[in-house]
């Protein structure tokens, strides 16, 4: 709570337990969970509807953060409630936003080295769970910012799961993977990562697989052969699950890698230069995003507000940090960064069109702004930043 400046006594942790189908837990006398079989999907959905309604009644100013739902449930409940309640899923939206921010800065450095436009980037994801697909959905924003359509943006992203390259002709797959399933490849199955990299020719390789050393030497060297400055983001936590270590990535690319990881790695001296690993951790995003939503009493956390948080983080690099080719700002500035992101989120909330699902049409437009405290609309940007900073809790 310190980094996002929210008073701990104003927060409430809630664990939802609807049973387990794991027999060894049910048989374990020390098991602390609800000792019964998991309820049906229908009952679970009814429970979540009732839970969200009652939370909004009892705590009308509450911002709800979903954490650690299974992949299927994470997407299902986020989509079910995001337009009706102030809720966000950190695994999907927080991870996606922080990676988008780092990718924006890395892509500019990569394109400067290659001379190719930002819209030419090609992203390969290794790992297709809720985090991987959530990040992919957020990175579509990167391409749309370059003028591409949604379909064109989707075509710049490839997924690899435990069965290899994700494509339509491969057979049945989880619903959340279909958005990035390829229609331009029909087989045979492609499972070797080196082969996949050679086929896709990506400028960026992102890992969200929790598979240690999945980015082995041949893969990284191929990325370096394809790109003057390859973007390699092994984002799995902790270090023991990271797809690649910083030292290896530097050595195998001869110091040219643009690297960000989920876990911290120390700086490296390479041929007289100091190289820094970015850390694409959600803690850069959710503090400011949550603070902004709380201060303006946002009725919902819209895609544009999440994108605003991401762009705010990308823009928070100082000239000194940019001169060092840093992808993320230094972590010791986190409170300053959180305040800056919060102001961006508030401004976007003020500009949004408030909508709700409607039985009569796809959406019901309620008016301008999802901010329910509108007195901040008249503040200048400097005044708003000062106001946000004044509201930050300090121990």
pLDDT in tens, the chain (395 residues): 445 578 888 899 999 999 999 999 999 999 999 999 999 999 999 999 999 999 999 999 999 999 888 888 988 999 999 999 999 998 888 888 999 999 999 999 999 999 999 999 999 999 998 788 989 999 999 999 999 999 999 999 999 999 999 999 998 998 899 999 999 999 899 999 999 999 999 999 999 999 999 999 999 999 999 999 999 999 998 999 999 999 999 999 999 999 999 889 999 999 999 999 999 988 899 899 999 999 999 999 999 999 999 999 999 999 999 999 999 999 999 999 999 999 999 999 999 876 665 544 455 555 578 999 999 999 999 999 999 999 998 88
C-alpha 176/C-alpha 394 separation (Å) is: 40
CATH of the domain at 308: 3.40.50.720
- For the CA atoms of the chain, what is the radius of gyration? 22
Residue 253 domain flag: yes
- Residue 91 annotated as lining a ligand binding site: yes
Residues 6+ apart with CB under 8 A from 193: 126, 160, 214, 215, 216, 219
- Structural domain including 166 reads 1-84+92-284+303-335
Residue 351 domain flag: no
Number of domains into which the chain is organized: 1
Residue whose structure tokens are 């900073």: 389
Residue 218 domain flag: yes
Residue 162 domain flag: yes
Residue 248 domain flag: yes
CA angle 224, 229, 233 (to 5 degrees): 85
Residue 296 domain flag: no
The length of the chain in residues reads 395
- Residue 68 annotated as lining a ligand binding site: yes
Residue 323 domain flag: yes
C-alpha 30/C-alpha 22 separation (Å) is: 14
Residue 109 domain flag: yes
C-alpha 309/C-alpha 321 separation (Å) is: 19
pTM: 0.88
- Residue 237 annotated as lining a ligand binding site: yes
- Residue 79 annotated as lining a ligand binding site: no
């Amino acid at each position: 709570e310190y980094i996002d400046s929210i008073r701990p006594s104003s927060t409430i942790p809630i664990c939802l337990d609807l049973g387990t189908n794991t027999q060894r837990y049910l048989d374990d006398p020390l098991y602390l969970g609800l000792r019964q079989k998991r309820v049906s999907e229908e009952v679970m959905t009814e429970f979540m509807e009732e839970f969200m309604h009652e939370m909004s009644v009892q705590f009308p100013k509450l911002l709800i953060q979903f954490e650690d739902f299974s992949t299927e449930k994470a997407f299902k409940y986020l989509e079910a409630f995001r337009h009706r309640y102030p809720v966000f899923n950190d695994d999907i939206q927080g991870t996606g936003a922080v990676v988008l921010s780092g990718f924006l800065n890395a892509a500019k450095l990569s394109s400067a080295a290659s001379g190719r436009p930002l819209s030419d980037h090609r992203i390969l994801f290794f790992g297709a769970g809720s985090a991987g697909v959530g990040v992919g959905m957020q990175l579509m924003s990167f391409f749309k910012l370059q003028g591409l359509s949604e379909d064109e943006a989707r075509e710049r992203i490839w997924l690899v799961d435990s069965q290899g390259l994700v494509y339509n002709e491969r057979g049945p797959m989880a619903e959340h993977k279909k958005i990035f399933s390829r229609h331009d490849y029909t087989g045979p199955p492609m499972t070797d990562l080196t082969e996949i990299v050679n086929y896709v020719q990506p400028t960026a390789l992102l890992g969200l697989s929790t598979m240690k050393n999945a980015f082995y030497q041949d893969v990284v060297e191929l990325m370096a052969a394809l790109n003057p400055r390859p973007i390699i983001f092994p984002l799995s936590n902790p270090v023991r699950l990271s797809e690649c270590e910083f030292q290896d990535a530097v050595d195998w690319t001869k110091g040219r890698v643009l690297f960000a990881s989920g876990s911290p790695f120390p700086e490296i001296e390479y041929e007289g230069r100091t190289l820094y690993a970015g850390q694409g951790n959600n803690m850069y995003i959710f503090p400011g995003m949550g603070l902004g939503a709380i201060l303006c009493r946002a009725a919902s956390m819209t895609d544009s507000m999440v994108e605003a948080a991401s762009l705010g983080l990308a823009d928070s690099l100082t000239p000194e940090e940019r001169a060092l080719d840093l992808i993320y700002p230094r972590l010791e500035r986190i409170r300053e960064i959180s305040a800056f992101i919060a102001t961006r989120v508030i401004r976007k909330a003020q500009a949004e069109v408030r909508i709700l699902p409607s039985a009569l049409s796809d959406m019901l437009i309620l008016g301008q702004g999802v901010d329910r405290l509108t007195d901040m609309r008249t503040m200048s940007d400097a005044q708003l930043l000062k106001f946000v900073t004044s509201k930050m809790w300090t121990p």
